[in-house]
Amino acid sequence: MEIPIALIDALRHAKHIAVLTGAGVSAESGVPTFRDAQTGLWAKFNPQELATREAFARNPKMVWEWYAYRRELIARVEPNAGHYALAEMEQRAKNFTLITQNIDGLHERAGSKNIIELHGNIFRTKCFREDTRVSAWLATDEIPPRCPRCGSYMRPDVVWFGENLPRRALDQALRAAETCDVFFSIGTSGVVEPAASLPFNALRSGAMVIEVNPEETPLSDSATFCLRGAAGVALTQVIKALNSRL
Ligand code: BV8
């Protein structure tokens, strides 16, 4: 894949690089994206219906088991070349902000440091009623387990549809999009708000915006560059081109 020289030069001179990732960056690790038909047991459910407070209130056991199934799947996979390329890009950058919609923790496992988890983390758990994190609880065979403090059901510490994003995370992500020189939008269909607006905020603030995605998205026509391919391939090529233009 050809990486434009102007892109590499912008990266080399950038004071602040910001990156937004979506499920596509974990696809090469074997984690199904939202747009893929849900595999196996969950093929008949729509994530937008399952990832909501209403679904949990209606059927806490089913929603808890959906997340337990995804946790087990994610715990068995490894970060891929795309995750590692982003960790390397951060090492080389003066200032680097990684904003992720993903809840799989793979960026951290690949060595990325300055990570903003817009939608939480599937490996963290919180009390459904108190909305505060719970790090340990007595193992029981009740599903979902109950909060050791108040006895309410526990839930994954992720942002469901219809729920506000963590205020601090969203503010930091907005600030990064508005102050960076280069903004990557990688592996996201650009449908879910407010994350989907971040690349447009960056464009409006004068940043170079690069889309990395094998398919077109609502951002494609506005992006400065589109790298039409898999994140693992494209980002590895970007790092290679950076190294060759030392
Ligand atoms: C909010 C965590 C304020 C949970 C997620 C009506 C009522 C209520 C809300 C709304 C409404 N209408 C609109 C909204 C706002 C709503 C929204 O945006 N809805 C959409 C569907 C229109 N947003 C919200 O509710 C947010 N909160 O707005 O609060 C509010 C409050 C009340 C009322 C109104 C507003 C909260 C959104 C967060 C939801 N939680 N995840 C969980 O994971 O279970 S979202 C989840 O889906 C992901 O985190 C991610 O954000 C999204 C999936 O998108 P992608 O990551 O882009 O993945 P996708 O599969 O779509 O695409 C993959 C892409 O990768 C593709 O383009 C593909 O081509 C590409 N790809 C594939 N392989 C590769 C690749 N790319 C590169 N390399 C590859 N190898």
- State in Å: Cα 191 to ligand 1 middle: 6
Of the two residues 226 and 39, the one the predictor is more confident about is: 226
Q: At what angle do helices 81-92 and 231-244 cross, to 10 degrees?
A: 30
Residue 85 near residue 184, CB atoms below 8 Å: no
pLDDT of residue 23: 96
**pLDDT of 222 higher than 60:** yes
CA–centroid distance for 240 within its chain:
24
Q: Averaged over 113-129, what is the pLDDT?
A: 98
Write down the mean pLDDT value for the chain: 95
Residue 12, CB half-sphere, CA atoms under 13 Å: how many? 14
Please indicate whether residue 37 or residue 164 has the higher confidence score (pLDDT). Answer: 164
What's the confidence (pLDDT) of residue 38? 61
pTM of the model: 0.96
Q: What is the pLDDT of residues 169-191, one digit of tens each?
A: 999 999 999 999 999 999 999 99
What are the catalytic residues? 119
pLDDT for the residue numbered 45:
75
Site to substitute for ligand 1 among 1, 33, 80, most atoms within 8 A of C-beta: 33
Q: 186, 24 in Cβ contact below 8 A? A: yes
Residues 6+ apart with CB under 8 A from 171: none
pLDDT (tens digit, 9 = 90+) per residue, 34-76?
A: 877 666 556 667 888 899 999 999 999 999 999 999 999 999 9
pLDDT for the residue numbered 206: 98
| Closest listed residue to residue 159, CA positions, set 200, 118, 204 | 118
Q: Rounded to the nearest whole angstrom, what is the distance from the C-alpha of residue 151 to the centroid of ligand 1?
A: 31
| Atom number, ligand 1, closest to the C-alpha of residue 101 | 49
Q: Is the CB of 157 under 6 A from ligand 1?
A: no
Q: What is the mean pLDDT of residues 78-98?
A: 98
- Measured between its terminal Cα atoms, the distance across the chain in Å is 20
Is the CB of 32 inside a 6 Å radius of any atom of ligand 1? no
Among the atoms of ligand 1, which is closest to the Cα of residue 120?
A: 2
Tokens of 206: 């004068």
Does ligand 1 come within 6 angstroms of the Cβ of 100? no
Specify the amino acid at residue 61: K
Mean pLDDT, to the nearest integer, of 14-18?
98
Tokens for 30?
Answer: 């074997």
Q: How far apart are the CA of 112 and the centre of ligand 1, in A?
A: 22
pLDDT digits (tens, 9 = 90+) for 98-110: 999 999 999 999 9
User: Nearest C-alpha to atom 13 of ligand 1 is from which residue?
Assistant: 193
Residue recorded with tokens 């590499």:
8
pLDDT given at position 194: 98
